Amino acid sequence: MKLTGAQIMMKVLKEEGVDTIFGYPGGAVIDIYDELERTDIRHILVRQEACAVHAADGYARAGGRTGVCLVTSGPGATNTVTGIASSYMDSIPVVIFTGQVPTHLIGNDAFQEVDTVGITRPCTKHNYLVKRTEDLARIIKEAFLIASSGRPGPVLIDIPKNVAANTIDYKAPTKIKLKSYKPTYSPNVKQLQRVADMIKDSQKPLIFAGGGVILSKASKELTELAHKAQIPVTCSLMGLGGFPGTDPLWLGMIGMHGTYRSNMSTGDCDLMIGIGVRFDDRVTGKTDAFAPNAKIVHIDIDPTSIRKNIPVTIPVVGDCKITLSQLNKLLDKEDLGDLKKKRQKWIDQIDHWKSTSPQTYDQKDVIKPQYVVDKLYQLTKGEAIITTEVGQNQMWAAQYYHFDRPNHFITSGGLGCMGFGLPAAIGAQLACPDKLVVDVAGDGSIQMNIQEMTTAIQCGLPVKIVILNNGYLGMVRQWQQLFFNKRYVSTCLECAPDFVKLAEAYGAVGLRATKPEEVVPVLKKGLFSKKTVIMDFVVEKEECVYPMVPAGAPVTEMLLV
């Protein structure tokens, strides 16, 4: 069978189950786009290439599958780097196709030529430059395998224009085998038995769960472990939803803006079980003061993550779902006795921390941003998929929206990429068309990629945008307030648009609340509309996110007001 490279690409994508591609066309990929039009694969035209990756990222997280995007060479490829880096930091499976100049022009500074492979090597799990049309099918299949297996991540395929246009005698690739790539899924049984013994003996255990629990679909196994062994659970930002946020054993988020009870538990526990986490700096604070009294177990599929930031007592390399399932079976064989009674003092101590320093706010005359998120949670009953931008809006969403299910909180955790939330919400809405999808945003971050309103409108997506409008780049302003004597340098957004009029200009619904009593009516009207909606909430200008752990301090030393 004679096929062009573009035809081969479409054939293999269909074999991989791809039904949606986010992208932006250009000369180097014109052959691919011409062939894409002949398929039933849905193409979503974004308005900036980074948003193609953000949308594919949101699609992957909400839908539990690999996201795909397609852009042209040169600036099209370089624009994707921010999105790729965000997916890489958060271990999200995305396959990125970039166009490239013809192979005979590579290295000649041709029009719209850049070294895409070189540029993206530090922020991809793997990347390819396809030099022969004969290699294209195999490379695409390898890319999907690498992106979705082991510790997931973005894989980039750079396709020269002539590789896409050439016609060859096509032969389907045989079963893909990568000799040097063999992730460890099953844990060492002896190490797991040591973990089981530690759980049985500990007085003050704590589970710290991260994004790996969600990526491996291990939420059920995590919940079973916590209940079986009566262990309180905290999560990183990326782990929210991995354990039910309304469960009695739930402590809230850990780290720089974690709950008081969660951070204090970290300082006092005698056993910490880290599952699918990186122990990054936003969680640990001062590393030599992190969990100082605890033996630490670290379960992760990526061996390079273990001991990278924190010394570990027992390393366990393996898939979180498989590992927790086996650990639960081991604990079934143990005489655990009455662990609830044994750990009652520990639970009482945690309850005391919760009662003395609860996560709360004081709603008076001016709208508090926490109040908006709180009411959003109550009105949606925790059923919505929440995406966020980055900054204060992100933290308030994490603190006051209680996630009972995985894949319902989508945020740029590792890279902290402003402008992520709207395109991610578009991707999530396309992956889950029957779900309510809400982007919680700030008035600064929403303007980073506001052009994607056109994408939402064109696709008829009922995405909701909740703007916590304080007239500042809020998180940077908070640091300037607390540590730089209120010198608000370049953080006051004095020339912000009228978001209601802006929504209407795009063809969306625009709503605004300026008083506390207007919050619920605006939310109700916006959430239950079948259209794309921007809800602008004019909130307290100098409200800060608390608790807050200052940079370099132990997580137990928090600013509470």
Catalytic positions are: 49, 111-112, 161, 475
The answer to whether the beta carbons of residues 275 and 210 sit under 8 Å apart is yes
Percent of residues in the chain assigned helix, strand, coil, to nearest 5: 40, 20, 40
Query: H-type helices in 437-493, by residue range?
Result: 453-458, 474-483
Helix (H, G, I), strand (E, B) or coil at 304: helix
Question: 343: which 2 tokens?
Answer: 């750990």
Q: Residues near 109 by Cβ (< 8 Å), separated by ≥ 6?
A: none
**DSSP assignment letter at 248:** T
Alpha-carbon gap, residue 350 to 266, rounded angstroms:
11
Alpha-carbon gap, residue 165 to 159, rounded angstroms:
10
**DSSP assignment letter at 313:** S
**DSSP assignment letter at 413:** -
In this structure, which amino acid lies at residue 529?
A: S
CA dihedral 37, 39, 42, 45 (to 10 degrees): -20
Of 478, 473, 477, nearest in space to 448 by CA: 473
Cis peptide before 547 (omega within 30 of 0): yes
DSSP codes, 116-145? HHHHHGGGSSEEEE---GGGHHHHHHHHHH
Alpha-carbon gap, residue 307 to 310, rounded angstroms:
5
Helix (H, G, I), strand (E, B) or coil at 220: helix
Residue with tokens 């166009």: 99
- Provide the CA 482 distance to its chain's centre, in angstroms: 28
Mutual angle of helices 49-63 and 421-431, in 10-degree steps: 50
Of 104, 167, 163, nearest in space to 128 by CA: 163
